[in-house]
Structure 1
């Protein structure tokens, strides 16, 4: 049975990924820092509390899981909403740490066994903010851009060993995290939540948000034999972002 580990897999995009891989017959391993969410996961999943930036914890979990067929480096936080000159350094560091260092540590400790096995897939969760930049979200955008550089480097280094790496760039995803972003931006811009929501939707050619399941479906494709020659790619699942500065 193929084995997948999804970081931050107890809710949102990560949980949707876990369900998708489960339905496809994978042995599912999930890590998260939310104890209540971890406790609520299906009993047949291997669910563990683990901070994405705790290197010892990450190394122990990946060793316990054994050789992985798929790693979904998905952990991330939204970070502060502010103009660059108003961003607190501690908030910057916290955002970059979880989003970028978390992805790095997961890949660092999963890759040796994948290389030794001569196969494996690493799927990084970036963002359309990592393609276009993002007003008022500098630390988040910077980290998500950096994930793309990390992914491409992993693809180059691990490709000769039969290991692939790709990055999925979600757009605005329905769910609690995006609701928090909408609330903060509404407050910062003196707008209503619905006005900000409409601005995001209007910035895509499909005039809509995406669902976590849309991201999960792409992850499942990238892990499949149908994508056996797809590596080093940045793939947006966002309804086609036309305007990276959401506004009416």
Structure 2
């Protein structure tokens, strides 16, 4: 595929898998991330910049650069997010709640806010928001994360309605448990909170899916490339889980 693709949190994890998949498909890739080291490890032919998506001034500057250098953007992958605290709701600090919503939900909102005028001007575009199955079922001990991810689904559906008349599509991907360092941190924190071992928590997550396994970054990336492609030209306003089919969102070991 041809096209200009911006991926937030694209220097590592799921975002890096997305960047690699779009690159392999022939797209121009622009990666925005807060991790300077991870950005420096990206291929030289990717456009790279350090951006905090929760900071409106930084997001506005990013899209100013994109407009100046690319003239527009064809696909926005609003992928940036943080796990937030692992705790019962009464133990969650307001500061941690606000930070989780700022990065996950407000970050997606800000990127969509500044991408929309560019896409409207060209009369086409695709927005892919990385939500979570936590935004479909809830997530015990992760209230800020679940609330943010539910909000991102509402944002995606609203954007699809607002932007559809301008030839722009918007969909949300809901990953399940994704193999990688970020999920390892969640597993260890949840194990500590529940008085379990990491392996017991892992087994609980895996057993909560009909396919009995975690997903990989490439699984999410492949869906993002599809949703940005002409093959999905009439797919909009959808919430698509890539999770091995969740059958029990809160399995008990």
Superposition TM-score, scaled by structure 2 size: 0.97
For residues 28 and 40 of structure 1, what CA distance do their matches in structure 2 show?
15
Root-mean-square deviation (CA, aligned residues, Å) is 0.7
Counterpart position of 1:23: 24
Question: Within 5 Å, which residues of 2 pair with 1:176-187?
Answer: 176-187=181-192
Aligned position for 1:99: 104
Residues 58-97 of structure 1 aligned to structure 2 (within 5 Å) = 58-66=59-67, 67-97=72-102
Q: How much does 1:61 deviate?
A: 1.2
**1:192 deviation in Å?**
0.7
Q: Deviations over 1:222-243 (max 9, x none)?
A: 0011100000000000000111
Distance in 2 between residues matched to 1:75 and 1:98, nearest whole Å = 7
Match of 2:196 among 153, 168, 191: 191
Q: Secondary structure at the match of 1:124?
A: strand
Superposed displacement of residue 247, structure 1:
2.5
CA contact (8 A) 1:155 1:165 kept: yes
**Equivalent position of 1:230 in the other structure:** 235
Q: What is the deviation of 1:246?
A: 3.4
Deviation at 1:65, TM superposition (A): 1.5
Instruction: Check conservation: 1:5, 1:71, Cα contact below 8 A.
Output: yes
The aligned residue for residue 51 of structure 1 is: 52
Q: Which secondary structure state, in structure 2, belongs to the residue aligned with residue 80 of structure 1?
A: coil
| Partner-residue secondary structure (3-state), 1:53 | coil
The Cα of 1:63 is off from its aligned counterpart by 2.0
Structure 1 residues without counterparts, runs of 5 or longer:
none
Aligned residue pairs total 248
- 4+ residue segments displaced more than 2 Å: none
CA displacement, residues 72-119 of structure 1 (integer Å, 9 cap, x when unaligned): 000000000011111111000000110000000000000001011110
Q: Displacement of 1:59 after TM fit?
A: 1.2
Q: Within 5 Å, give how 1:32-181 maps onto structure 2.
A: 32-66=33-67, 67-181=72-186
* CA displacement at 1:194 relative to structure 2: 0.5
Task: State the secondary structure of the residue aligned to 1:77.
Answer: coil
Normalising by structure 1, we get a TM-score of 0.99
Shift of 1:60: 1.4
Three-state SS of the structure 1 residue aligned to 2:140 is coil
CA–CA distance in structure 2, aligned partners of residues 12 and 206 of structure 1: 22
